[in-house]
Amino acid sequence: MKIFKGEFYRISVLTDKLVRLEYSQTGSFEDRTTQLIYNRDFGQVSLDYIETSNVLDIMTDYFHLHFNKGEFNAENLFIELKGNFAV
């Protein structure tokens, strides 16, 4: 697992397919055990990232997350899935 944390956000890449996004105007985040996830040790994840003071890009084999550091909204945050998906 890799965690990227700013003053008001925390982005946790749990696996190469699973990301957790948290935003708090107070800058506090909940770390206690949840009903669904008892073991938070997901191990190492293979990813690349580019981070500047204003932008964070995270790339795995399955997604590309782009975040213009600020509030979580459609202008600042998007996730592009990689691969061919069909129903």
Q: What are the tens digits of pLDDT across the range 24-77? A: 999 999 877 766 666 666 778 999 999 999 999 999 999 999 999 999 999 999
Q: Is residue 16 part of a domain?
A: yes
Domain residues for the domain of 27 are: 2-81
Q: What is the pTM of this model?
A: 0.85
| Number of domain units in the chain | 1
Q: Is residue 86 part of a domain?
A: no
How high is the pLDDT of residue 37?
A: 64
Instruction: Using CB atoms within 10 Å of the CB of residue 32, give its burial: 0 to 12 exposed, 13 to 18 middle, 19+ buried.
Output: exposed
Q: Is residue 42 part of a domain?
A: yes
